[in-house]
Amino acid sequence: MEDQQTGALVRKCLTGDSRAWEEIVRLHQRRIYNLCYRFTGSPDNAQDLTQDVFIRVYRTLASYDVEKGAFTTWLTTLTRNLLVDHFRRSRQDRVTDSMDAGLREEDDSLSLSDRLEDHGPSPDDRLASKETQKMVQAALARLSPDLREAVILRDLQDMDYREIAQTLNVPEGTVKSRINRGRMELARLLSRNKRQVSSQ
Amino acid sequence: MNSQNHQNELQCGQFEAMLADALDGTLTAAGRQAFDAHAQSCSVCAPMLAEAHQGLRWLKTLEELEPPKNLVHNILAATSMAEVRSPAETAARARNTGVRHLLAGLLHSRFAASFSMAFFSLTLTLTVAGVRISDLANAVTHPGSLRKAIVLQYTQVESSMVKYYENMRLVYEVESRVKALRKATAQPEEKERDKSKDKNNPNDTSGNPQRHDDYSLEQGESILAWSIVTPEGAKP
């Protein structure tokens, strides 16, 4: 339904309707921003990349074939390509131990074990806390880009396996395998940190 | 019995392939039964399932973020600029971007400070040397006039140096003449004063002390003679 709506907006936009373009931006900016943020872990980079994505969309909108596939998949593919480019550019400058840095920033409040152990607030409250989200985001940043993009598209963007396979240009079996490995690696990273902090 | 066979047939590879669907809850009843049975019996796959489940739970804690409020506005502003821009302008912008990247490195604070100091020094030197920037600009725009401007500048500097030297020579000459005149007028007065002194006290030689140049010579000679006459063994 959303894609049909976007398809109509794209057609209007191609005829020069600026309101249609504004509507497309409003419909999709949140999803693209979140995708960029979860992949880069930086609000500034996410904002810049989201802008870049829409600028590129605007320039290449004529190349989008409504009959060929969903607009969301096309947009996600374009975003993913920009994210990969950004990752390659910034690979040397990347702080691979961002998780440790993130944890050090929070040393003043509670230790990691305090946050992960079953005491204090209820599990649901703890899971929803911002600190937990920071830890998970930091762990996500430590995953390899292949695994990271797969789990983000599946678990955070709620895309189905077929769409993810189209976006990443790999078979569905590979997508599922990457998602499984991404989830397992994330759990291992978080539990390893928990053990390290507990042993200190 | 059928499900029993299904359990036995399920291998670790199949279990892994079903893992994502199992966590999504999209397995068939039979598939779910076989999956659960394998998870309970296999020491490799059971931890795999636990970790994948835990990882999924962690990921689901991440909430959707609110984008910055100005994001839509910025996107629309950026794309409206892209709309107005022609292909030629786009190419020019790409070139400018390259130049901007180059300048970004050069305009680093350290380089900027060095450049400003160098510029200041150059400007100061040119100002002291009497070179005007407008002249240089003309010279650059008309390369033929560059040599003419340099020769003219050199001639001006040379003539001013010669003038300065000539002036200094004149001053020294005048000064020396004045001194000579003073000396010439002062000498007859002194002679007259000396004559009047001699007349008053002819034995007084205090005003004209005798020089004893030969004294120091005699003393030197006696020391030399002593060192020649005295034998080595006669020394104490």
Chain segment A49-80, per-residue pLDDT in tens: 999 999 999 999 988 887 778 889 999 999 99
Spell out, as residue ranges, where chain B has pLDDT lower than 70: 1-9, 81-111, 130-144, 194-236
**Would you say the ipTM is above 0.90?**
no
Say whether A187 and B52 touch across the interface (CB within 8 A): yes
For residues A185-194, average pLDDT? 88
Q: Which of A32, A142, A149, A186 to mutate to test the interface with B (most CBs of B within 10 A)?
A: A186
- Please give the DSSP secondary-structure letter assigned to residue B68: P
Q: Is A115 on the interface with B (CB under 8 A)?
A: no
Distance CA A180, CA B17 (A): 9
pLDDT digits (tens, 9 = 90+) for A160-184: 999 999 999 999 999 999 999 999 9
Global pTM value: 0.56
Q: Is B89 on the interface with A (CB under 8 A)?
A: no
Q: Which residues on A lie below 8 Å from B55 (Cβ)?
A: 151, 182-187
Q: Is A60 on the interface with B (CB under 8 A)?
A: no
pLDDT digits (tens, 9 = 90+) for B7-49: 456 889 999 999 999 999 999 999 999 999 999 999 999 999 9
- Which pLDDT does position A175 carry in this prediction? 96
Q: Among A171, A200, A3, A15, which residue's Cα sits nearest to residue A112?
A: A200
- Which pLDDT does position B27 carry in this prediction? 93
- Which pLDDT does position A171 carry in this prediction? 96
Distance CA A176, CA B17 (A): 7
Residue of A43, A128, A187 with shortest CB distance to B61:
A128
